[in-house]
Structure 1
Amino acid sequence: MKEPLPARVRVLVADDEPLVRAGIVGILGTDPAIDVIGEAGTGHEALAAARACRPDAVVLDIRMPGLSGLEVLRELRRAGPPLPCLFVTTFGEDDYVAEALRLGADGFVLKSGSPHELLLGVHAVAGGGAFFSPSVARRLLTGRRVGESGRAHDARARFDRLTPREREVLRLVGQGLTNTEIAGRLVLAEGTVKVHISSILRTTGARNRVEAALVAVHAGEA
């Protein structure tokens, strides 16, 4: 009996720079498990395409003329079930990254980063996980901002309120693992992992999976 073919990931790519967009599409095309089902050069096009075809993941540029990637994310979060969004960013856009996190972005990769990170990021967010390019994570976590030590203390306090099993789950969430991968790692049913994550969100006050992952990372647990 033949093994069933793995599910393919349907991706929409939005970037206002044609060469950058073509590069992203080209990289995604090297993965036989990814199908690029649409391209958009403006935020308005991206929003319309995302609503029309409901891809498994959207790769979004943060800054686009007219309707920005942040505004696209805000609109997508207002309507229907969450659509995984992976942002491509450049150095110097930390304020945009912080706002995207607040709005519920699922991950970030650098335009100047490794193509492998883009592929990992798409698979992670499409599978229900979160993903940060290491350099983006470092900037978020080690930036010398006022209140950084207070943030770490708050994250530790929230992490310590979790049960031992929830801490195990959150550590893996912080590493970008999907529910399926966490279930396999901890030998749990996937439904049990979902229950743990719902409890983690309630206990830590995180609004989404990415905020929960940041609790683990700021607490030094991921």
Structure 2
Amino acid sequence: METPAVRVLVTDDEPLVRAGIVGLLGTAPDVRVVAEADDGAQALDVLRAHRVDVALLDVRMPGMSGLECLAQARREHLDGRFVFVTTFGEDEYVAQAIALGADGFVLKAGSPRELIMAVHAAASGGAFFSPSVARRVLDGAQAAGFGQAQRARALFDRLTPREQEVLRLVGAGRSNAEIGAALAVAEATVKTHMTSILRTLGAHNRVEAALVAVRAGQA
């Protein structure tokens, strides 16, 4: 049976940029842009009315920003995965995006391939950050010091052996489907493990969980 295309919402206040993103995604045969929006409020209307697998958001937009949109989507428990595609890669924005449970952060100055990779990763339950952004996230984790590393190791040790295996693969950037294949278990089983992992770690999303694995030296 043919795999359904990933349904994507593209949100950007600049029509030319939005058209460029739509055109780029059109080169991926398994990705379909189902809606466009020019600010966060319009994006929310789309998410409330239609099924969207991945919503692409700009950080800064007139009216409602992408960060405000994601915060409201979380409050309303709207379905979908959320990836930021933006010119602005400042640490403050990245930190806010991670805290809100973003599934990716891609810079417009990066390779076009990164955007398609981010859509695929988010749609399959993973996360993707542009290399320069990911490096800063990891550097920040390392700079947090020995105390955080100790705490991360203590949290990691609270997980069951199977959950530790799953988290190591999450830390390596694997999607739920890839983790299931690696461990020879169903994807639904991986999702169950992830729910337990997040609860045990006190993490809001898989990105925060992955950081625990990194800080504990397990990824």
TM-score normalized by the length of structure 2: 0.91
Candidates 123, 126, 131, aligned match of 2:123 = 126
> TM-score scaled to structure 1, two decimals?
0.90
Question: Any conservation in 2 of the 1:46–1:72 contact (CA below 8 Å)?
Answer: yes
**Could you tell me which of 23, 27, 33 is aligned with 2:30?**
33
Partner of 1:113: 110
> In 2, Cα distance between the equivalents of 1:83 and 1:138?
26
* Paired position in structure 1 for 2:46: 49
CA RMSD after TM alignment: 2.0
Q: Which residue of 1 aligns with 2:214?
A: 217
Q: Pick closer, same or farther for the CA change 1:174–1:81 going to 2, 3 Å.
A: farther
Alignment partners' CA distance in 1, 2:133 and 2:178: 23
Matching residue of 2:202? 205
- What is the rounded CA distance, in whole Å, between the counterparts of 2:188 and 2:34 in structure 1? 30
After superposing the two structures, state which structure 1 stretch, 114-123 or 161-170, moved more: 161-170
Partner Cα distance (1:8, 1:144) in 2: 35
Q: For residue 60 of structure 1, what is the aligned residue in structure 2?
A: 57
Counterpart amino acid of residue 202 in structure 1: R
Cα 1:52–1:193 shift into 2, 3 Å: same
The one-letter code of the counterpart of 1:188 is V
Inter-partner Cα distance in structure 1 for 2:108 and 2:82: 15
1:65-80 counterparts in 2 under 5 A? 65-80=62-77
Q: Matches of 2:77 and 2:191 in 1, distance apart?
A: 19
Aligned residues of 1:107 and 1:210 also touching (Cα < 8 A): no
* Higher alpha-carbon deviation: 117-126 or 151-160: 151-160
1:163 Cα shift? 2.2
Q: Percent identity?
A: 63
Residues 150/88 of structure 1: CA separation in 2 closer, same or farther (3 Å cut): farther
Distance apart, 1:178 and its partner CA: 2.1
Change beyond 3 A, Cα 1:149–1:87: farther
Give the Cα separation in 1 of the matches to 2:95 and 2:143: 15
Q: What letter is aligned with 2:37?
A: A
Deviates more, 1:141-150 or 1:56-65: 141-150
Q: Unmatched 5+ residue regions in structure 1?
A: none
Number of positions where the alignment pairs a residue of Structure 1 with one of Structure 2: 219
For each residue in 1:120-139, what CA deviation from the matched residue of structure 2 results, as whole angstroms up to 9, or x when unmatched?
11011112212222211111
Partners of 2:35 and 2:77 lie apart in 1 by: 20
1:132-187 CA-partner distances (Å, limit 9, x unpaired): 22211111121499744443333233223222221110121123322221111111
- CA shift in 2, pair 1:51/1:32, >3 Å: same
